[in-house]
Amino acid sequence: MERVLGIGGYFLRAADPTALSAWYRESLGLDADEHGLWHQQAGPTVFAAFDSGTDYFGSRTQQTMLNFRVRDLDAMLAQLRAHGAAVAEETQEMAGVGRFGWVTDPEGNRIELWQPA
């Protein structure tokens, strides 16, 4: 059986793709080139299905949620707040998994930030 090798891309609709791409670059430090190509660090990736009624993604109209691994969750959340981003006040810790925080991008997409254990 053939198997996928990893996530090859994540695509979002945006009212202003240029501005949204700039937000990801300037607020999260996502160093993508002009075509969106980004060489990320190797590490774990979670692929999980959630119940259709979940509130975990924020808005019920949001069908997927992007999760970024971060080195220091507190530093990243402080950086995002300094950029004026809509950062959730709460964080969550799961024993053996790590810590989580959330930010909403300028187009209303909730993003999860994960500092692995």
Distance CA 112, CA 94 (A): 14
- The count of structural domains within the chain is 1
CATH, residue 77: 3.30.720.110
Domain of residue 114: give its range: 62-117
- Token pair recorded at residue 11: 């695509």
pTM of the complete model: 0.90
pLDDT tens-digit profile of 44-65? 999 999 999 999 998 889 999 9
* 81, part of any domain: yes
At 57, give phi and psi (nearest 5°): -85, 5
pLDDT tens-digit profile of 78-100? 999 999 999 999 999 999 999 99
* 41, part of any domain: no
Distance CA 114, CA 42 (A): 14
Is 90 exceeded by the pLDDT of residue 4?
no
pLDDT at res. 76? 97
* 67, part of any domain: yes
Distance CA 104, CA 2 (A): 36
* 101, part of any domain: yes
- The enclosing H or E element of 66 equals strand 66-69
